[in-house]
Structure 1
Amino acid sequence: MLHDKRILLIIGGGIAAYKSLELIRLLRTAGAAVTPVMTRAASEFVTPLSVAALAGEKAYTDLFDLTDEAEMGHIQLSRVADLIVVAPATADLMAKAATGLAGDLATTLLLATDTPVMMAPAMNVRMWDHPATQRNLAVLQGDGVSFVGPDVGDMACGEHGPGRLAEPAAILAAIQSHFASGPLSGKHIIVTSGPTHEPIDPVRYIANRSSGAQGTAIAQALVALGAQVTFVTGPASVPPPTGVTLVKVETAQQMKDAVMAALPAQSAVFAAAVADWRVANAGTQKIKKTAGGLPALEFAENPDILATVSSLDAAMRPALVVGFAAETQDVTELAREKRARKGCDWIVANDVSDGTGIMGGTENAVTLITAKGAEDWPRMAKAAVAQRLAQRMAEALG
């Protein structure tokens, strides 16, 4: 897919810069030519020599390189690329790009180009959540810059949350999606999948029965139509799809945080079987069985991810929000009620009662609930359900 494509890779200065080396290797393996550009701060984390060796090309660092500037080298660099990728995109780089500053080679290239730009942010969670960074994000997105990540996870600084650089394989997948052809090309879609595990203590948890097979199939079908998919999955029993930005979570709260960090998106499909409740007084040590009786567990309601995203303002709400309803009785009626209650656009409902074999199986029989009514689909393989749903989404998203 990337054969004969030239990627201008701008490496920002942050601890995540070391991942740019793996990204270069993956891009070269996929057939792309890589022209690396490094900020001065990036050189504190990875050396121009190592970057150049992997790219097979000079690593550009200085705006005022007389040899290159004799022919306006900074203009040429920005114009000959098929895509400009900034990874890692630090808070500083994002701020400068959002305000049009051009004080070094990297920022000058970003200002002097009409080539599509993709950024992979990486920074401390508080820096990412800061209103200034979120304003800059909104400005850049309004200017047409696409984003991959950041991921949710542990930081080098010891904190946890959104701000980790997306994994190189996920950035590669986003780049491949950028060049893919199909009715969903250029569309970012979030898919949640699998169960969530809510701890009772370090060795026990509450969960719903879910293999993640249907959510995985949906993500794969959307990728096949050219979508850029952020796949947020709980501990599923099936392998994740390929060509997606993969975010692994355990709990409902982590899943919500990952979904919110992945916004904005043109659509979101909530196929995960999220546990409705969590244990509010979960033990920090294994709860021992005693002769004194059963432990007293206090339950609290988990965040409602579908309702939260459905109720966002127009600037952040996906144009098409799809929920799932797994029921054991009165499937269509309960799914209609759920669609109205949650405020989503579509509900994909199915009967998971005993004997259907759907939960954990390879087939599914669903009813699609929309504002126009209920549409029963015949029982078919989960991959076929996914393909049909992805096609309907492509039609709805234009």
Structure 2
Amino acid sequence: MTQRKILLIIGGGIAAYKACELIRLIRKAGMSVRCVVTAGGQHFVTPMTLAALSEQPVHTSLWDLKDEAEMGHIQLSREADLVVVAPATADLMAKMAAGIADDLATTLLLATDKPVLAAPAMNVRMWQHAATRRNVAQLKADGIILLDPDEGPMACGEFGPGRLPEPSAIMAAIEAHFAGTVRAPAPTATGAGLSPLHGAEDLPGQPDFAPDTHRALYGRHIVVSAGPTREPIDPVRYIANRSSGQQGFAIAGALAALGARVTLVAGPVSLETPAGVERIDVETAREMAAAVDDALPADAAVMVAAVADWRAEAAAEHKIKKTGDAPPTLALTENPDILARVSAAGPRRPALVVGFAAETDNVLEHARAKLAKKGCDWIVANDVSGDVMGGTENAVHLVTADGVESWDRMPKGAVATRLAERIATALG
């Protein structure tokens, strides 16, 4: 991804602040980024902040003589390898669809000859409005790579689709584009194009679009588990671990970005559901095992969750009180081995079963042993003795029957994209 150039256009919405994290992720991936911020966007994030993060000049006006002298807007529109619009507000999307060029951002979008990726963000009613639906259809027909917004609570107090996708999800889409697995569709005169990212989930009332068959995992069903499990000791205490669920959620999002139908079985975490992913929330290992089993059959299973190995043999019905005597004895029993169960699922076994091994010592030795013991196809192993659990980066080893492939430390989103691409290749 090094040497890639991104032109980031920041629209005027409250989600503009997330552009700061997106810039950080872009630069961490080895790419350069130059920012254009609209007049509305400057109410939420300052050009000085963007300049400091990107280490590039920030452009705000079509009429800045100094900027035009140093780099004209036509050159700016074509210098980058990819134009990213985030947040793409309802107003900005309407202007893009209509071909309006009344400020620097819209002029660049009309003048560029490079692919454009847009991440919408707006109020749920605005997103569902008939005018926005028409604009979405037109942008897809014009070949814009259009992400679906996330669903959840909004700054205005309402709930529903319209939230800006998380920066990690936008970054995964950028990486997938440059990897060649996601491409903008050819513009059509009839509007029969589809967004290469999450385009299958059309808005109510939109025209029917042709299937997005060019995505690498189109038509595949993949089950992903993520996060910790909690095993109750009594009504207020439980056995758990430090897993944040970030890596599993990133993998689910990256697989969806490649066109897969993803079922995400999530332990108790507060992360937002990646766009295009079906989420099933569970708490205990037994609940997770049942949910994974119900999700089969599938083409692949990626068991990222840090499942508790043991649970209390009999959870107390009431809070265990401290009596001043010796501490109570806690009898433990083993939890179901979800990875081994999936690997031995007979005719319902996925064609590719991927397990994860979080180790604190002898990482590769333990990973090879786990690969043989569990009967899975791949093990993704990592050393969690540092800040991996709860952190934003990971360094993993992909262990297969053919050997070990060690990947450099990188953002968890980049690990997810790389693993998703390897899964797509393995599934043909």
Task: Compute the TM-score of the two structures, normalised by the length of structure 1.
Answer: 0.57
Distance 1:48 1:360 in 2: 49
Please name the residue that 1:227 is paired with. Answer: 258
Could you list the per-position Cα deviations for residues 13-46 of structure 1 after superposition, in whole angstroms to 9, with x for gaps in the alignment? Answer: 0111111112112212221111110111111111
Aligned pairs for 1:349-388 (under 5 A) are 359=338, 361=340, 363-365=342-344, 380-381=375-376, 383=378
Distance 1:71 1:43 in 2: 22
Distance 2:157 2:144 in 1: 30
Matching residue's letter, 2:258: A
Give RMSD over aligned pairs: 4.7
**Contact kept in structure 1, 2:223 and 2:264, CA below 8 Å:** yes
Distance 1:221 1:15 in 2: 23
Distance 1:72 1:105 in 2: 13
- Paired residue secondary structure (1:381): coil
1:32 aligns with 2:31: yes
Aligned pairs for 1:68-217 (under 5 A) are 68-69=67-68, 73-181=72-180, 184-186=181-183, 188=197, 193-194=224-225
Structure 1: gaps of 5 or more residues: 196-202, 205-210, 241-245, 249-257, 276-323, 336-345, 350-356
Distance 1:102 1:359, change over 3 A: same
Please name the residue that 2:19 is paired with. Answer: 20
Distance 1:221 1:130 in 2: 26
Matching residue's letter, 1:77: L
How many residue pairs end up in the alignment? 282
Distance 1:136 1:155, change over 3 A: same
Quote the offset at 1:365 in angstroms: 3.8
**Contact kept in structure 2, 1:178 and 1:228, CA below 8 Å:** no
Distance 1:37 1:361, change over 3 A: same
Distance 1:21 1:127, change over 3 A: same
Matching residue's letter, 2:130: P
**Contact kept in structure 2, 1:177 and 1:185, CA below 8 Å:** yes
Distance 2:9 2:253 in 1: 31
Could you list the per-position Cα deviations for residues 141-197 of structure 1 after superposition, in whole angstroms to 9, with x for gaps in the alignment? Answer: 12111133411111000111111111222211211111114xx444546966459xx
**Contact kept in structure 2, 1:85 and 1:119, CA below 8 Å:** yes
Quote the offset at 1:234 in angstroms: 4.8
Distance 1:363 1:163, change over 3 A: same
Please name the residue that 1:252 is paired with. Answer: none
Please name the residue that 2:267 is paired with. Answer: 236
**Contact kept in structure 2, 1:217 and 1:382, CA below 8 Å:** no
Matching residue's letter, 1:28: R
Quote the offset at 1:362 in angstroms: 6.8
- Paired residue secondary structure (1:153): strand
Distance 1:392 1:33, change over 3 A: closer
Please name the residue that 1:306 is paired with. Answer: none
Could you list the per-position Cα deviations for residues 46-81 of structure 1 after superposition, in whole angstroms to 9, with x for gaps in the alignment? Answer: 111111121111111111223444587111001110
Distance 1:130 1:171 in 2: 24
Distance 1:95 1:232 in 2: 33
**Contact kept in structure 1, 2:169 and 2:250, CA below 8 Å:** no
Please name the residue that 1:320 is paired with. Answer: none
Distance 1:85 1:31 in 2: 16
Distance 2:253 2:44 in 1: 38
Please name the residue that 1:8 is paired with. Answer: 7
Distance 1:20 1:178 in 2: 19
Matching residue's letter, 1:176: E
Matching residue's letter, 1:364: S
Please name the residue that 2:63 is paired with. Answer: 64
Distance 1:191 1:23 in 2: 27
- Paired residue secondary structure (1:51): helix
Please name the residue that 1:55 is paired with. Answer: 54
Distance 2:127 2:162 in 1: 6
**Contact kept in structure 2, 1:358 and 1:364, CA below 8 Å:** no
Identity fraction in percent: 46
Distance 2:53 2:352 in 1: 50
Distance 2:340 2:350 in 1: 22
Distance 2:158 2:340 in 1: 39
Please name the residue that 1:318 is paired with. Answer: none
Matching residue's letter, 2:122: M
Matching residue's letter, 2:41: A
Distance 2:263 2:71 in 1: 44
Could you list the per-position Cα deviations for residues 233-288 of structure 1 after superposition, in whole angstroms to 9, with x for gaps in the alignment? Answer: 45337x99xxxxx743xxxxxxxxx7xxx46xxxx8x6x6689xxxxxxxxxxxxx
Quote the offset at 1:227 in angstroms: 3.1
Please name the residue that 1:286 is paired with. Answer: none
Distance 2:90 2:257 in 1: 29
Quote the offset at 1:100 in angstroms: 0.6
**Contact kept in structure 1, 2:222 and 2:299, CA below 8 Å:** no
Distance 1:140 1:108 in 2: 16
- Paired residue secondary structure (1:137): helix
Distance 1:14 1:222 in 2: 25
Distance 1:98 1:360 in 2: 47
